[in-house]
Amino acid sequence: MAAERAARVAEAVREVAAEVLRGLKDPGIGFASVMRAEVSADLRHVKIYVSVFGPEAEQASTMAALARARGHVRSALGREIRLYRTPEIQFVLDGSLEHSDRIARVLRQLHGERDSAGSTED
């Protein structure tokens, strides 16, 4: 039962955090997307996984800006999600999109090598 509640709270946190991030006016925040949220079993802590499109410098700048906006995001969570305690927020850089892009590039490269090797044998 507690795991189900934590999952519902995590999804609500993800939705609210994504909405708040869209409304932030900080120029340090690049193209960022909230991928998922993980809530601790006692609902006191939440990790918000954010994917940032761009070079490492832009990712670092965005993560620093998100750290500065942590209080604003937390207060929005407190207003939107009714919990006994508003969870402490930790933003985590999620590299899953970058990883999947790298895999796709390797697969395209392998596919291209196989096509070029097959055409020389004919």
Gyration radius (Cα) of the chain, Å:
19
Closest CA to 91 of 48, 33, 28, 53: 48
Please give the span between the terminal C-alpha atoms of the chain, in angstroms, as a whole number.
62
Q: Look up residue 39 and give its two tokens.
A: 């809530």
pLDDT (tens digit per residue) in 54-111: 888 888 999 999 999 999 999 999 999 988 899 999 999 987 767 677 788 888 888 8
Q: pTM for this structure?
A: 0.77
* Strand order across the beta sheet in which 31-39 lies: 31-39, 45-53, 88-93
Which domains are present in the chain?
2-95 (3.30.300.20)
Per-residue pLDDT tens over the stretch 10-53: 999 999 999 999 888 888 887 888 999 999 989 999 999 999 88
CA–chain centroid gap for 30, Å, is 13
